[in-house]
Amino acid sequence: MGMDQAWLIPAIPAAAFVILLIFGPYLPRKGDWLAIAAIGTSFILVFPVLADLLDQADGTTYVAGEKAWEWLSFDLAGAGETFNIEIGFYVDPITIVMLAVVTLIALMVQVYSIAYMKGDSRYGWYFTAMSLFAASMLTLVLANNLLLLYAGWEAVGFCSFLLIGFWYEKRSAAEAAKKAFITTRIGDVGLLIGIIMLWLEGPNTFNIQEIIAFAEEGGYETTYLTAAVLFLFMGALGKSGQFPLHVWLPDAMEGPTPVSALIHAATMVVAGVYLVARMLPLFELADPIALDIVLVVGLITVMISATMGLAATDIKRVIAYSTLNSLGLMFVALGSSAVTAAMLYLFVHAFFKALLFLGAGSVIHATEEQDMNRLGGLAAKMPITAAMFAIGTLAMIGIIPLSGFWAKDEVLAVTREEQHIVVYLVLLSSLFITGLYMTRLFVRTFLFAPREQEVYDRAHENGLLITVPLLILGLLATVGGFVVFDEVGEALGFAGGFGQFVFLHEAHGFEFHLDVAVTSTVLAGGGVVFGWFLWRDKAELAASVRDRFAPISTLLANRYYIDEIYQFAIDHIVLGAGALIAWFDRVVVNDAGVNGSANIGYLAGFEAKFLQTGRLPNYALAIVAGILLLSVVMLVALV
Amino acid sequence: MEFVLLALIVIPLAVCPLFMVIPSQYPQLSRYLAALAGGALFGLSLLLFVAYEFDGGSGLRYELQWAWLENIGFLGENGITFYLALDGIGAPMVLLNGVVIFAAVFVSWNLANRTKDFFVLLFLLVAGVYGVFISQDLFFFFFWYEVAVLPMFLLIAVWGTSSEFKTFARTKEYGAMKLTLMLVGGSVLIWVAIMALFIEAGAGTYDMTVLREAALDEDFQKVVYPLFMVGFGVLAGMWPLHTWSPDGHVAAPTGVSMLHAGVLMKLGAFGILRVGMTLLPEGAEFWAPVLMAIGVTGAVYGSISALAQTDLKYMVGYSSVSHMGFVLMGLASMNQIGVNGAVLQMFAHGAMTALMFTSVGALYDQAHIRDMTQFGGIAKPMPRHTAFFTIAGLSSLGLPGLAGFVAEFHIFVGVFEAGYWWAGVLGVISAAITATYILRMLAKAYFGPLNEKWAGLKEMRLGEQFAAVLLIAMILLMGLWPAPFIDRISATVEMIPGIAG
Amino acid sequence: MIPIDNFLVLSAILFSLGMYGVLARRNAVLILMSVELMLQAVVINFVAFAVYLDPETFTGIIFGIFVIVIAAAEVGLALAIILRLFRNRQISNVDEADLLKW
């Protein structure tokens, strides 16, 4: 076992999916054990692959593993070339990070789901879809060519559709699923065009590494490459919920909470980050405007999501906004060409965000309530959940020494060095807001007096199937950030810390930026303290602030009216165009064009028939006139 | 093997008189006979597809040439011959026809009114379709083309359904009449063009293998090609001559819709490729930008129209217009990737649209309405039906792993390669609009709270499920392992004159 | 010998009279009679040309006899139709017999 068998990692969940789809209903326990065994095996299989990658270590560089099989190929007439599409995998440190995150979180979430989804009428189907998701996501991550990546990309989108709409009897769930798929699909238009553009002027292959090598030799014209990577970035926009395609992610919370943890926090939504990280050499070769756009989009998303998080009252939605916030940070890092920072953030984010969602799920499972205005004081009844949730919250805010701190500081340090000071300042201010709304989330849910006694009475700590994944993720969210230290990396068998494993051009060790750390901690901590005073007890202070700034809070609570604008555009522009064209088709093309031309024939005949008067003298006159006319013609012709 | 090819025409023609001698009070007997014949055709089609050797030679296999009329008047040596042969484009088309007719028999199982007459006409139509796909003689090509088109009139006018809508009504007679008249109008253009081609070539033969060697004058090609393009284009649902198609689908009974959208519309695109582009390559080259513009207009127009439909059959009908627009785009790209994609799309669209009609028909048989806004939450009583419809929809919106993606991807690459970047972009957008109307339909009709009125709906019949599984197998086969299709198609496409690398 | 012109002029006069009758009259019987006049004009032409152009054979004369025979048959048929028309609708005016139209 090793690198050559990396294809087994997605293949095992895929096989589990097929078995569950066909035989699932007849298996004991509807086959949940099969899905979990499959993803568990995949998780274990990551280690031999990693070991092979490390064995190839030559100092601080790693030789990527790649293997491909022909999927289809045909000769191009007259060109002396063949058109090839391969399926294959490519393993490098970025892949390993993604593999580890996906398999580990998927395993945790599926174990957790045994308890969470217990008794659901479509229990078996849930695990079937989860297996399909795992297989698709792992395919996306391992793909060595853009087309296979696109296949995985669309497949995870479809799984997301299935799982958001898992409780499709709810109208809102059906609508959210549709919205998610269509919004991401809009981005995918760009992704597909970008892929075709890269092929068109490129080296007649979809292989990512060959395309990058080709670009590095200057194969693409700069403007063309810029356009191509921006099209690719459109795909990332949709999938990772960046402004202006972020609207689907908060609605996606209609799905079961473990699904939100896995798909809409830890794995699928970071596919966009992964794509940009993977294709970053192309972004760098393109016009600088490309990376600037990535940065600005990330920055806008950070700000709008953080502020929207302040107004949301559904605990899952607040976490969803915090996910958007984190994703924005990753894009800011990528916009500064900092793969290390982005991937580090992605890595630790998976742990603490999954932790937050699963913690929220634990609350929802126990209380059947997810509106924080009806919760409160749960810490007493759910101590483990509360403790783990606190860890997740602090990690998200970025309090030393939790994992989020190290990743966030990396991003901050990079932006301070690479970008305009404004970018840095905006990020710092967003930290303060993050501190505010995360504190609000925790305080309102777990502390002080319960707001609804009935809900509070239902609350109880959940069983081991729920708490153990929470504890494991809590541990990882606490210590996950230490991978930045060279000592930790070496102890784990790597050449050094995270920066010497995942990097774009050259490895770099860990540097602690004291000034950045102090500034960020002060701001984030300030947010926490300020938030504490705002929302403590009955949150009277927060209410008065909200009343004073009523227009702003209305704007935030309505999510900047972006959804409404889109809804208006869809109802009036898209469906209007549809109705117009349908009308045009029926009335102009069909009734006027087709029936019209038929009617012309009919009318011509109808008018002409009146020449037949039925009167003998008329006919006789016509005959005589005809003969005379013909005679005259013949005479003229003869003479 | 060449007699297997012959059997494809002989079997459906031979069962027609057999149906006639079955007393009409035993409809079950007719159904078994139809299933037997359909199964035999499916088996033989599959055999031909698998056995077809794509490497080497002219690409024509299992040739069978019998003289019919020769050395009389204007006809020379081999003037009109009964000439059958299979090539790499015909092979997947033959398979498609076999699958769809086999599925259509099971879908039409419960048809109670004049059962045997229905099957007589259905198999006559199938014989015509097979004839077009395997004829190498232009005269018989046209003959079978007409045989395939004309039974449709009776099939729709007798067994169809009339529909009333809020602002307009469509009777089945109207649908049948419009369909037949428009297609016959197209046939007139084709026949004129065939005559002109025959006389201009001066070879005194209708043999297409001979005609393609005739170096025809470029101006002549430019004049005659549009006749073929428009004439066959009518049957291919070419915008703006597509309106027979949605109305025809709405009026036709389910089994007929399947054959009609699944196979019959492919005859048009097949004709453009086999006759137009192969025999008149320079004309095709000249008119390619026009065909591209028409194709992309149809693709976008069809998908936007589908977005506005609430009737399920109209939605599927307009999606056919949209997908046939993709086929025309692929053909107009005039390069190997695009044309391969067009043929792939012909197969993919055939399988998925037949599946869609199977699903819609199964629902309509029970509910007697097709308006999606009146349903709601019917995924609960009909989970398998929902799954089948969803798979068909996903294939049509181009989800990787299903047939539609493989085809559409090739078409888009081909179109970009040919330099029509605007058409490529619009095509990709049209695929996204497809996603919108498919998901809108699913969300409206299948998801959401169950409308109590429909709580009594039952799952599809087993026969319909079998048909659906058969079609899904094809969709998955092509989506996951397209190599067998591509190998066959590509080997023949690269021999078409005028196809660039 | 009488010049042929005389016969032709006579024939032309007869024919014109007949044609005037057909066009101007409304009574079915009178129209029938006018048609007969036109036919006789033709017969005169046939006979005259036969005698002047080819006196050895009787081709033209035989045609004349044909025309007379057919005219007789035609009168029988036409009078029968006119009678039925009169019996059924009490009309002999052709303007009123206009059902065969559109």
Per-residue pLDDT reduced to its tens digit, A555-595: 888 888 888 888 888 888 888 888 888 888 888 888 888 88
Nearest to B301 by CA among A577, A248, A435: A577
Nearest C-alpha of chain C: how many angstroms from A607? 10
Closest by Cβ to A74, choosing from B432, B436, B490: B490
Lowest mean pLDDT among A388-392, B2-6, B429-433: B2-6
pLDDT tens readout for residues B100-136: 999 999 998 888 888 888 999 999 999 999 999 999 9
d(CA B322, CA B327): 9
Q: Where does residue B29 rank: exposed (0-12), middle (13-18), buried (19+ CB within 10 A)? A: middle
Provide the residue type at A40 as one letter: G
pLDDT > 90? residue A544: no
Q: Which of A127-131, A442-446, B34-38, C74-78 shows the lowest per-residue confidence on average (mean pLDDT)?
A: A442-446
Q: Which residue of C has its CA nearest to A625?
A: C23
A540 by Cβ neighbours in 10 Å (0-12 / 13-18 / 19+) ranks as exposed
Q: Tell me the per-residue pLDDT of B387-428, one tens digit each, with 9 for 90 and over.
A: 999 999 999 988 998 999 999 999 999 999 898 999 999 999
Burial letters A386-415, b for 16+ CB under 10 A, else e:
bbbbbbbbbbbbbbeebbbbbbbbbbbbbb
Nearest to A613 among C26, C31, C98 (CB): C98
Which two three-digit tokens encode residue A608?
């002409």
Counting CB pairs under 8 A, whether chains C and B reach 3 or more, is: no
| Bridge partners, residue A87, by sequence | A69
Q: What are phi and psi of B86, to 5 degrees?
A: -105, 135
Please give the sequence-ordered ranges of beta strands (E in DSSP) within B124-247, or none if there are none: 163-164, 169-170
> Cβ contact (<8 Å) for A615 and C23?
no
Do B234 and B314 meet the contact criterion of CB atoms below 8 Å apart?
no
Q: How far is CA A165 from the centre of its chain?
A: 16
Is the backbone peptide bond immediately before A203 cis, with ω within 30 degrees of 0?
A: no
Higher pLDDT, A628 or A542: A628
Average pLDDT, chain B: 90
Query: Which pLDDT score is estimated for A15?
Result: 94
E-state strands within B186-231? none
Distance CA B18, CA B12 (A): 10
- Of A101-110, A200-209, A553-562, where does mean pLDDT reach its minimum? A553-562
Q: Determine, for residues A617 and C95 on separate chains, whether the beta-carbon distance falls below 8 Å.
A: yes
Cα A517 to chain centroid distance, Å, stands at 30
CB contact under 8 A, A74 and B340: yes
**Has residue A541 got a pLDDT over 60?**
yes
What integer pLDDT is reported at residue C13 of this predicted model?
94
For residue B103, what are its two tokens? 């599925």
Residue B446 token pair:
């299948």
DSSP A417-481: HHS-HHHHHHHHHHHHHHHHHHHHHHHHHHSSS-S-HHHHHH-----HHHHHHHHHHHHHHHHGG
Shortest CA gap A602–chain C (Å): 14
**CA-nearest residue of chain A to B314?**
A582
What one-character-per-residue DSSP string does A501-538 give?
A: TS-SSS-------HHHHHHHHHHHHHHHHHHHHHHSTT
How far does the CA of residue B89 sit from the closest CA of chain A (Å)? 14
Q: How far apart are CA B497 and CA A597, in angstroms?
A: 37
Rounded to an integer, the average pLDDT of A369-382 is 84
Is the omega angle on the peptide bond into residue A250 within 30 degrees of 0, that is, cis? Answer: no
Mutate: best of B184, B310, B413, partner A, most A CBs <10 A: B413
Average pLDDT estimate for A322-345: 91
Residues 6+ apart with CB under 8 A from A120: A126
pLDDT, tens only, A169-192: 888 898 899 999 999 999 999 999
Contact A590 B243 (CB under 8 A): yes
DSSP H stretches of helix in B265-402: 265-271, 278-279, 281-308, 312-333, 336-367, 383-396
C in contact with A (at least 3 C-beta pairs within 8 A): yes
How many angstroms separate the CA atoms of B91 and B488, rounded? 7
Q: What percent of chain B has pLDDT over 70?
A: 100
A552, two tokens: 């702003």
Taken in order A589, A590, A592, A594, the sign of the CA dihedral is: positive
C34: which 2 tokens?
């006018």
Distance CA A274, CA A268 (A): 10
Query: What is the pLDDT, as a whole number, of residue A59?
Result: 56
Task: Name subunits touching C (3+ CB pairs < 8 A).
Answer: A
Residue C43 has a pLDDT of 93
- Residue of A609, A610, A615 with shortest CB distance to C98: A615
Give B-chain residues touching A576 at CB under 8 angstroms.
none
* Average pLDDT rounded to a whole number, residues B482-489: 91
Q: With contacts defined as CB-CB under 8 Å, which chain A residues touch B397?
A: 185
> Which residues of chain A lie closer than 8 angstroms to C101, CB-CB?
612-615
Band of pLDDT at residue A61, cut at 50, 70 and 90: low
Is the bond into A256 cis (omega within 30 degrees of 0)?
no
pLDDT surpassing 80 at residue A238: yes
Query: What pLDDT, on the 0 to 100 scale, is given for residue C26?
Result: 86
**Considering only CB atoms, which chain C residues are within 8 Å of A609?**
102
| A612-637 average pLDDT score | 88
- ipTM of this complex: 0.92
CA torsion, ordered A357, A359, A362, A363, to nearest 10 deg = -100
- Listed in order, strand segments (DSSP E) in B133-290 are 163-164, 169-170
Flag whether pLDDT at A71 surpasses 70: yes
Distances (CA, A) of B346 to B6, B327, B328, B350: 23, 7, 10, 6
- Cβ burial, residue A120 (10 Å; 0-12/13-18/19+): middle
Residue B100 pLDDT: 93
Q: Is the pTM of this model over 0.90?
A: no
Give the best residue of C15, C23, C31 to mutate against chain A (max A CB count within 10 A).
Answer: C23
CB neighbour list of residue A633: distance below 8 Å, 6 or more residues apart? none
Cross-chain Cβ contact C102/A609 below 8 Å = yes
Q: What is the mean pLDDT of residues B280-300?
A: 92
Min Cα separation C63/chain A (Å): 22
| Class of residue A512 by CB neighbours under 10 A (exposed 0-12, middle 13-18, buried 19+) | exposed
- Block residue for tokens 């869809």: A570
Q: Which two tokens stand for residue A266?
A: 């830890």
Q: Which run of H or of E encompasses A553?
A: helix A550-557
Please indicate whether, in this complex, the C-beta atoms of A621 and C97 are within 8 angstroms of each other: no
Reported as a pLDDT band with limits 50, 70 and 90, residue A401 is confident
User: What sign does the CA torsion over A116, A118, A121, A124 have?
Assistant: positive
In contact, A216 and A285? CB cutoff 8 Å = yes
Instruction: Test C102 with A617 for CB contact under 8 angstroms.
Output: no
Residue of higher predicted confidence among A140 and A502? A140
Does A613 contact C101 at a Cβ distance shorter than 8 Å?
yes
- Compute the nearest-CA separation of B227 from chain A (Å): 19
Query: What residue type is assigned to position A546 of the chain?
Result: R
Beta bridge partners of B84: B64, B135
β-strand pairing of B61-69 with A81-91: unpaired
Give pLDDT, residue B189. Answer: 94
Q: How far apart, in Å, are the Cα atoms of A335 and each of A209, A330, B414?
A: 21, 9, 33
Which residue does chain B place closest to A576, by CA atoms? B308
User: Distance, in angstroms, between B383 CA and closest chain A CA?
Assistant: 11
A484 pLDDT more than 90 = no
Choose the closest CB to C23 out of A609, A612, A624: A624
What are the tens digits of pLDDT across the range B139-196?
999 999 999 988 999 999 889 888 888 778 888 888 898 899 899 999 999 999 999 9
pLDDT of residue B501: 52
Backbone φ and ψ for A480, nearest 5 degrees, come out as -55, -30
Residue A241 and residue A330 in contact, taking contact as beta carbons nearer than 8 Å: no
Residue B397 C-alpha, separation from nearest chain A C-alpha, in angstroms: 10
- Across chain A, mean pLDDT equals 88
User: Under DSSP, is residue A81 helix (H, G, I), strand (E, B) or coil?
Assistant: strand
Answer whether residue A537 shows pLDDT above 80.
Answer: no
Residue in B373, B360, B366 with CA at minimum distance from that of residue B457: B366
Of C23, C26, C101, the CB nearest to A612: C101
Q: How many CA atoms lie within 13 A of A395 on its CB side?
A: 34
Question: Cβ atoms within 10 A of the Cβ of A510, count?
Answer: 19
Q: Which residues of chain B lie closer than 8 angstroms to A161, CB-CB?
A: 439
* Alpha-carbon gap, residue A86 to A7, rounded angstroms: 13
The identity of residue B201, as a single letter, is A
For residue range C56-81, list pLDDT tens digits in order: 888 888 989 999 999 999 999 999 99
Say which residues have a Cβ less than 8 Å from residue A507's Cβ, sequence separation at least 6: A60, A61, A495, A496, A499, A500, A501
pLDDT of residue A58: 60
> What CA–CA distance (Å, rounded) separates B34 from B26?
13
CA atoms within 13 A on the CB side of B38: 28
Q: Do the beta carbons of residue A32 and residue A19 sit within 8 Å?
A: no
Spatial separation of the C-alpha atoms in residues B173 and A586, rounded to whole Å: 17
User: A613 and C99 in contact by Cβ < 8 A?
Assistant: no
